[in-house]
Amino acid sequence: MPEPTLQIVIASTRPGRIGLPVAQWFEERARDHGAFAVDVADLLEIDLPFLDEPNHPRLREYTKQHTRDWSARVDSADAFVFVTPEYNYSLPAALKNAIDFLHFEWQYKPVGFVSYGGISAGTRAVQMIKQVVTTLKMYALPEAVSIPFVAQFLDDEERITPNETMEQAADAMLGELRRMSDALSALRAG
Ligand SMILES: Cc1cc2nc3c(=O)[nH]c(=O)nc-3n(C[C@H](O)[C@H](O)[C@H](O)COP(=O)(O)O)c2cc1C
């Protein structure tokens, strides 16, 4: 049987974003871990407009090609990791918008978080995202990678050099994501 697909969603769309090197580090870790086939969904590249569908996404009556493409992309995933900064103690608007576009595509899928920021390591944003994703019947994991003062982990080439805590946290989260993805697969099939 093929491995389930983990979709890593890059939430920051800002020029010069640290989210890109953070996601690149995590992507490499996820590929080495081996529990999942990995897909990276970069919200900057995907470039969704602000929600412009007339119908509730529960109806799946999408009128725009960008929505149909995003729907197919999220449908194809079995589990997610949101790589997210914290903006004003909350989640980036681009991530909330991308979530709001869809409904059933998210259901019965686990989600883990790689968050980063200053002293809070993005954890206040994660707490807010959890409120949103539970509405969609996603299962948010407590295991997480929380990176405080993220700039300290950037090397001269703007790549992330992780510490052992980050590596262990990533592996623990990936292991739990796989367990949860397998456990929820019966509900997704239904
Ligand atoms: C609009 C804005 C709001 C921010 N708010 C917070 C915040 O509430 N907490 C925090 O720890 N850092 C905050 N920061 C600093 C970010 O953690 C830092 O800029 C980080 O690099 C943002 O991620 P990005 O580079 O991937 O966009 C904020 C940055 C921006 C641009």
Candidates 46, 72, 71, 47; CA nearest to 57 is: 71
d(C-alpha 109, C-alpha 152), whole Å: 33
Q: pLDDT tens for residues 10-24?
A: 999 999 999 999 999
Cα-to-centroid distance, 123 and ligand 1 (Å): 12
Beta 79-85 vs 5-10: how paired, if at all?
parallel
Cα-to-centroid distance, 88 and ligand 1 (Å): 7
* Neighbour count for residue 108 (Cβ, 10 Å): 20
Long-range contacts formed by 31-34: CB under 8 A, 24+ apart: 33/170, 33/171, 33/174, 33/175, 34/3
Res. 2 pLDDT band, cuts 50 70 90: confident
Residue 190 is predicted with a pLDDT of 77
Residue in 9, 17, 82, 88 to alter for ligand 1 test, most ligand atoms within 8 A of Cβ? 88
Considering the entire predicted model, what is its pTM?
A: 0.98
Pocket of ligand 1 (CB under 6 A): 12, 14, 17-19, 85-89, 117-118, 120
Residue in 17, 87, 153 to alter for ligand 1 test, most ligand atoms within 8 A of Cβ? 87
Strands ordered across the beta sheet of 37-42: 37-42, 5-10, 79-85, 110-116, 139-147
Cα-to-centroid distance, 87 and ligand 1 (Å): 5
Average pLDDT, stretch 147-165? 96
- Residue length, the chain? 190
Q: Is the pLDDT of residue 1 over 80?
A: no
